[in-house]
Amino acid sequence: MNPENLSHASHAPVQERSRSTALRLLSATIALLDESGLEGALIPRIAEQAGVAPASVYRRFADKNALLRAAFLHALKESNASSSATLSSHLRGDTLAASVKKLIDMLFDQYQQHPHFLRALSQFIDADTDRAFVGEARAIIRANIDLIVDLLLPHRSEIRHAAPALALRFLVLNATCSIEAYSLDPNSMWHVEPCLSRADMTAQLVHGFVSHLA
């Protein structure tokens, strides 16, 4: 056997084990963020959940923030890949109002099923000083918004706004930010008495969304 081929063969299992360990660390970090937010994403807990020694974390990531950045980007990319495969069928309604209702329900489900992770993501992006990470994270989020806008544009015949894509982008962002505040911040103005129920909030968001476009 060629010595060079032998060297490659011996390195391959080591590299595969290293990739597998890194992926387990990312999965463990995401699971703990989803369970208890940034406060729960501690290196000893992450290592234990991944089935490795804490020292293994620092062999692959410079520090805890580097691991968190990698985990958040991994989760965002996985989410976008999933969205690309499912949103086209999920948002396909017979009318603009029906499609918008599906979108609002989807956003509510997302924020209410993963409040700790999404709160942690928002907090981390706001506080992190690594502008490259922040830029990449926001670019992934922006791509998901672009996808939603593209999927709503086929209802163009129901849209009277002079700039349909721009209006849709504003309305998607407005709905997302409103649902984020409603779902993640119990002290937000959305919870001033009398507090809107999710059903009332959904109805008003759909009405405002469609009315603005018309």
Model pLDDT for residues 55-79, shown as the tens digit of each residue: 999 999 999 999 999 999 999 999 8
63-213 CATH: 1.10.357
Whether 168 and 153 have beta carbons less than 8 Å apart is answered as yes
Task: Using alpha carbons, select from 201, 192, 196 the residue that is nearest to residue 174.
Answer: 201
Amino acid at 50: A
Residue 16: pLDDT band with limits 50, 70, 90: confident
3-state DSSP of 70-106? HHHHHHHHHHHHHHHHHHHHHCCCCCHHHHHHHHHHH
Q: In CATH terms, are 1-61 and 63-213 the same topology?
A: no
**Where are the domains positioned within the chain?**
1-61, 63-213
Q: pTM of the full predicted structure? A: 0.87
pLDDT above 60 for 14:
no
Q: pLDDT band for position 4 (50/70/90)?
A: low
DSSP state string for the chain: --HHHHHHHHHHHHHHHHHHHHHHHHHHHHHHHHHHHHHH--HHHHHHHHTS-HHHHHHHSSSHHHHHHHHHHHHHHHHHHHHHHHHHHHT--SSHHHHHHHHHHHHHHHHHHSHHHHHHHHHHHHH---HHHHHHHHHHHHHHHHHHHHHHGGGGGG---SSHHHHHHHHHHHHHHHHHHHHH-TTSGGGSSSPPPHHHHHHHHHHHHHHHH-
What pLDDT shows up at residue 5?
54
What was the pLDDT predicted at 111?
Answer: 96
CATH number of 1-61: 1.10.10.60
22-57 pLDDT, tens digit each: 999 999 999 999 999 999 999 999 999 999 999 999
Mean pLDDT of 95-104: 96
